[in-house]
Chain A
Amino acid sequence: GDSVTQMEGPVTLSEEAFLTINCTYTATGYPSLFWYVQYPGEGLQLLLKATKADDKGSNKGFEATYRKETTSFHLEKGSVQVSDSAVYFCALHAGNMLTFGGGTRLMVKP
């Protein structure tokens, strides 16, 4: 079945550091890929998405490129802020379901 694998956290960075959170997937066909973010005490929010190979999703300085050849959708940001501290989830859509990875907690220190 479909699955999503994310790097385990927590990831701890200093403010203005470069961020990469790895995400790889296994799926039949060509799923749409998503990154969702969960701030403390809240539900998830869509951060960005990509619907086909080589698409780049971007939002709030975050980017991720749909790489079919490596089945990956790594999340990057050039300069993180304390306010980016949250849990990040990679997900894929196939059929009527959304399949999530285990989540990666990011902690950004001032």
Chain B
Amino acid sequence: NAGVTQTPKFQVLKTGQSMTLQCAQDMNHEYMSWYRQDPGMGLRLIHYSVGAGITDQGEVPNGYNVSRSTTEDFPLRLLSAAPSQTSVYFCASSASGPRNEQFFGPGTRLTVL
């Protein structure tokens, strides 16, 4: 099993550009989530999904969109990148929600100039 995979590993964008961060898991997990990690602030939840076709907002959803058309994939879209979105982004998945162990991807380091 590959576990949770994320692409790309690094990305530099200019303000106003859009892009999609990819996340995939091969463990047949229903629950998937996106976090951003900023120094001293831990991880903050952006969006999550409890199954295909179902998504909901987390703590910091503004400026981000998600969709969940399959169990395996959960892409995160930045519509118009801003310097405040410079961060490390982690995707995670778990069986039946965050009360179970969450498996994290290796992260995407995004810089917005």
Contact = CB atoms under 8 A, between A and B. Distances in A.
A69 interface: no
Given A96-B48, A97-B48, A97-B58, A46 B102 contact: yes
B43 A96 contact: no
Interface of B: 4, 31, 33, 35, 40-45, 48, 50, 56, 58-59, 90, 92, 97-99, 101-102, 104-107
Contacts of A66: none
Closest 3 CB pairs of A and B: A43-B104, A100-B42, A98-B98
| SS of A interface (majority) | strand
A89 B98 contact: no
B98 A93 contact: yes
Given A43-B107, A96-B48, A101 B99 contact: no
A43 to B, nearest CB: 3
